[in-house]
A = this chain, B = another copy of it.
C-alpha cells in the first residue's frame, strides 16, 4: 500500500504476463527493443512521482471536485507518459459511469469505487480496453458469423464470469497492470452476453497481448521525437479469462451497456483535446523555427500560413477552456467536462490537423524528408560540406537546421507522424462519433426558438 519506484515498477512486470511481438513471444520485456522506450518513460514517471509513505498517492488518481481542479488536472496530464494518462482517463471514465448507473445499480457503483481505491493504493497503471474486433460492421454482435467478434461472457459462475474476445488498439497494454474492459457500443435486449464491463490484470491466465510499434529501433539521432516517445500498440486476446465478481462492473444489463463507452469517450476526447492544443502550439513553434532557419519568416505567404496555424491552436485551446468553464458536477461532487464543448473542440482539432501538417510541410520545404542523416553530418569528409550547405540564416548552424528538419520529419512525416495522423482522427471514436455526440448535446430547441423568432414564426 505505497507508491512504487521506477525499479519496483519494472520488477512488477515480471508477473507471468504473456507478451508477443515480431512473430515471437517476448520472454524478457525489459531487454526487448520494441519496449525499451516505453519502459523508460513509464519507469521515469514512477520515479518522478514517487513519494515515500504508506498513504502517498499519485496525482493521477485525483478526482476533480471543481472547475479549477479539472483545469489543473489537464495541465498535469500533458506532462505524463501515455500509460499514466490512460490510468487517469480510464478510472475517471469508470467513476463517471458509476455516477450514471448508481441510481440503478448501487452494487456496481460500489465495486467501481473499490476498484479505483485498489489501483490508487497500489499505484497501478491501467489501460482501457474497449474496441472489439467487430467482424462485419453492419451486423449486430448476435448476428455475426463468429459470436466472439464482440467480447462476451461465455460462462457465468457463482464466483465470477469467463470472458472471450479480442480488444484492439490498446496502447501500452503490455507495460501496464490492469485492463479496464468495456463494451464497445450499445447492446440491445437479447445481447446480454456482450454487455460486459470488468477489470482484468494483464497477467491473468488467458490474456495474450500481441504488440506492434511504429518506432525506429536505431539511428536515434535521426528520430529525436519517436526515439523518446513511443508505446507499443496492443492487440489483446482474451482467451477464456476468468473475472471474479468483485471486478465485474456490468454483466448483462444492456440498458447500461453504452454508459461506459460514453463516459470513456468524454474523458478520452478531453485528454485528446488537451494534447491537440499542445500539439497545435508545437506545430506553430516548429513552423516559426524552420521559417526563421530558412530565412522566410517575413515572406507574406509564410506569415499567413503561420497565422492560420496560430488561430487553429488558439481555437482548440478555446474549446478546452470552454469545456472546463462549462463543466458540471455529479451528485458525488465530481466535475465532468462539458460534452458539447469537448466534442466540438476535439472534432475541429482532429479534422484540421492534417491541414496544419500540410502547412508545416509547405513552410519547411523538401529538406524535411531529404536532409542527410546525423551520422553523415558527423562524417569527416562530407560532414563539413553538409554543415556548410545546410546553414540557412544566421539562426543556428547547418547542424541545427538539419536536426530541425529531422524533428519535423520524425514528428509529422515518418512512422510516428503517420501514427499521429491516424490516431488524431481515430482516438475517442473517430470524427463521425464526435459529430454525433456534439449534435446530441447541443441545445437544439434553443436554436430552433432563435430561428423561429427571426422568421417571425414564434408563437409568442
Question: A: which residues have CB within 8 A of B?
Answer: 20-25, 131, 133-139, 145-146, 148-149, 165-166, 168-169, 208, 210-212, 214, 219, 224-225, 228, 233, 235, 237, 239, 278, 281-286, 288-289, 294-296, 298-301, 303-304, 306-308, 310-311, 313-315, 317-319, 321-323, 325-326, 340-341, 343-345, 347-348, 351, 354-355, 357-358, 361-362, 364-373, 375-376, 378-379, 381-382, 385-386, 388-394, 400, 403-404, 406-409, 411-415, 417-419, 421-423, 425-426, 430-432, 435-436, 438-439, 442, 444, 446-452, 454-457
Q: Given A137-B392, A345-B318, is A361 in contact with B425 using a C-beta cutoff of 8 Å?
A: yes
Whole-angstrom CA separation of A430 from B385 in the bound complex:
26
Chain B residues near A391 (CB, 8 Å)?
133, 135, 146
Cβ–Cβ contact A148 & B388, under 8 A: yes
Tell me the nearest residue of chain B to A374, going by C-beta: B23
Chain B residues near A208 (CB, 8 Å)?
381-382, 385
Cβ–Cβ contact B288 & A448, under 8 A: yes
Q: How far is the CB of A78 from chain B (nearest CB, A)?
A: 10
Tell me the nearest residue of chain B to A447, going by C-beta: B285
Cβ–Cβ contact A136 & B224, under 8 A: no
Chain B residues near A137 (CB, 8 Å)?
294-296, 299, 392-393
Supplied contacts A168-B367, A311-B435, 5 more A-B pairs, CB within 8 Å: A23-B376, A306-B439, A311-B438, A325-B325, A407-B457
Whole-angstrom CA separation of A400 from B455 in the bound complex:
10
Q: Given A137-B295, A225-B455, is A20 in contact with B345 using a C-beta cutoff of 8 Å?
A: no
Cβ–Cβ contact B355 & A355, under 8 A: yes
Cβ–Cβ contact B426 & A169, under 8 A: no
Cβ–Cβ contact B386 & A210, under 8 A: yes
Cβ–Cβ contact A237 & B385, under 8 A: yes
Tell me the nearest residue of chain B to A300, going by C-beta: B300
Cβ–Cβ contact B385 & A239, under 8 A: yes
Cβ–Cβ contact B358 & A407, under 8 A: no
Cβ–Cβ contact A168 & B366, under 8 A: yes
Q: Given A285-B449, A308-B435, A447-B288, is A314 in contact with B212 using a C-beta cutoff of 8 Å?
A: no
Tell me the nearest residue of chain B to A385, going by C-beta: B237
Chain B residues near A407 (CB, 8 Å)?
451, 454-457
Cβ–Cβ contact B450 & A282, under 8 A: yes
7 smallest CB-CB distances across A and B, nearest first, come from: A23-B375, A285-B451, A413-B418, A300-B300, A407-B455, A285-B447, A318-B322
Chain B residues near A400 (CB, 8 Å)?
457
Cβ–Cβ contact B136 & A456, under 8 A: no
Q: Given A23-B378, A311-B347, is A284 in contact with B442 using a C-beta cutoff of 8 Å?
A: yes
Chain B residues near A345 (CB, 8 Å)?
315, 318
Chain B residues near A325 (CB, 8 Å)?
321, 325
Can you give 6 A-B contacts (C-beta < 8 A)?
Answer: A137-B392, A138-B299, A278-B450, A285-B447, A403-B456, A413-B421
Cβ–Cβ contact B372 & A212, under 8 A: yes
Chain B residues near A278 (CB, 8 Å)?
450
Q: How far is the CB of A196 from chain B (nearest CB, A)?
A: 16
Chain B residues near A138 (CB, 8 Å)?
295-296, 298-299, 393
